[in-house]
Amino acid sequence: MSIGERDRFKVEVQMKIKIDVSPIATFKWNEDNAQKLRELREKSGYSRRKLSEEVGVSTTYIHQLEAPHLFINKPGKPKEITVSTDILQKLCAALGGEVATLIWDIECLA
């Protein structure tokens, strides 16, 4: 069987994964997480302001999550950004995603 013939038989597998994050208080936040959040927000049609209102955090906090490199390791700023499980769940509920979408390199489907 040639490579072209094998490609015809490829099947996309979609799984719905439930992950209990309740025992975890906070997650370290990085640029990969930031990019995923920004993409989810834009895909959902939210502005930073609208998302911040929906989640109950400041617009500045959403900006920090989407661009952590602007805020960490600066004079008087923390060395890392962490996000509470509660905020992650609220972000995902607003954006129609799963917590796992933001913290691991997987795509969860509703």
Percent of the chain with pLDDT over 90: 24
What's the pLDDT tens digit per position in 34-48?
Answer: 998 998 899 889 999
Listed residue (97, 28, 94, 95) closest to 65, CA to CA: 28
What CA–CA distance (Å, rounded) separates 109 from 100? 10
Instruction: Return the higher-pLDDT residue of 28 and 16.
Output: 28
pLDDT for position 53 = 96
Compute the distance between CA of residue 73 and CA of residue 69 in angstroms, rounded to an integer.
8
Contacts of 64 (CB under 8 A, 6+ apart): 70, 71, 81
Half-sphere CA count of 93, side-chain side, radius 13 A: 10
Report which of 45, 77, 75, 43 is spatially closest to residue 60, judged by C-alpha positions.
77
- Structure confidence at residue 45 (pLDDT): 92
CA–CA distance from 77 to each of 17, 32, 45, 57, 65 (Å)?
35, 20, 30, 19, 14
Q: What is the pLDDT of residues 50-93, one digit of tens each?
A: 999 999 999 999 999 999 988 887 787 778 888 888 898 899 88
The CB-side HSE value for 6 (13 A sphere, CA atoms) comes to 3
Please report how many Cα atoms fall inside a 13 Å half-sphere around the Cα of residue 59, on the Cβ side. Answer: 5
Q: Between these two residues, 16 and 110, which has the higher pLDDT value?
A: 16
pTM over 0.85: no
